[in-house]
Amino acid sequence: MKLEEAITKRIYDLCNERDIVPNKLANMAGLPSATIRCIFYGKSKNPGTRTILDICQALNITIYDFFNDPVFKDSELEGTY
């Protein structure tokens, strides 16, 4: 799995757990809804750390909580260059 796919999956799962749709997450995080849509639909190949931090703060979790998930423990995880 690619890193950006793992990040997208994690955000999707967190939203699903909280019954939050992409537009609501964008509003909560103070991000353009297009940014969240691009992440959800795989158009964003490298979501920035600031974007991830804004999402974490909106969901009231830490960066550690975000990345402390089995999806990131895959030894086959690869980045895109």
Residue 64 lies in a domain: yes
Number of independent structural domains in the chain: 1
Say if 48 falls within a structural domain.
yes
Distance of CA 10 to the CA centre of its chain: 6
In this structure, what CATH number is given to the domain that contains residue 51?
1.10.260.40
Interhelix angle 22-29/33-40, rounded to 10 degrees, is 130
78 within a domain of the structure (yes/no): no
The pTM is what?
0.88
Q: Helix, strand or coil for residue 2?
A: strand
Distance CA 6, CA 48 (A): 14
Question: In this structure, is residue 21 part of a structural domain?
Answer: yes
Confidence of residue 80 (pLDDT cuts 50, 70, 90): low
81 domain residue, yes or no: no
In a domain, residue 76? The reply is no
Domain contains 54: yes
What are the pLDDT digits (tens) for 17-75?
Answer: 999 999 999 999 999 999 999 998 888 878 899 999 999 999 999 999 999 999 988 76
The domain in which residue 54 lies consists of 3-69
